[in-house]
Amino acid sequence: MAKLFLEAGVITLAAFISPFADDRQRVRALFSAGDFLEIYCNAPVDVCEARDVKGLYKKARQGLIPEFTGVSSAYQAPVAPELSIDTARQTVDQSVSTIFALLQRRGFGSG
């Protein structure tokens, strides 16, 4: 879907839980060089758990949700993302500003 928007000239941000490097590489391969930016929103599991308003981490720790990323299923952190944001240290506004700055440096949305 994001590629269709890109082809129509629309900048698209897509957020996914993508725990495996191979999956992220397959998505990157769908795009031309420079059209795909991997942004790693990094937060330790304890921070994710503290932010979890739905109680999914608690359920996963109780064994009610199998293969839950960060609890019972591994997460392969990106090796070379275009941007890494430490969301445990940055506010949402700071993180958004950091992403917009990257987009501007790369020439997206400058027109």
What's the count of helices (H) and strands (E) in the chain, helices before strands?
5, 2
Q: Which among 18, 32, 72, 110 is annotated as catalytic?
A: 18
Cα-based distances in Å from 96 to 60, 73, 86, 93, 99: 29, 28, 12, 5, 5
Active site residue 73: no
User: How far apart are alpha carbons 54 and 43 in whole angstroms?
Assistant: 17
Name the residue with tokens 């994710």. 48
Q: Which residues are catalytic?
A: 18
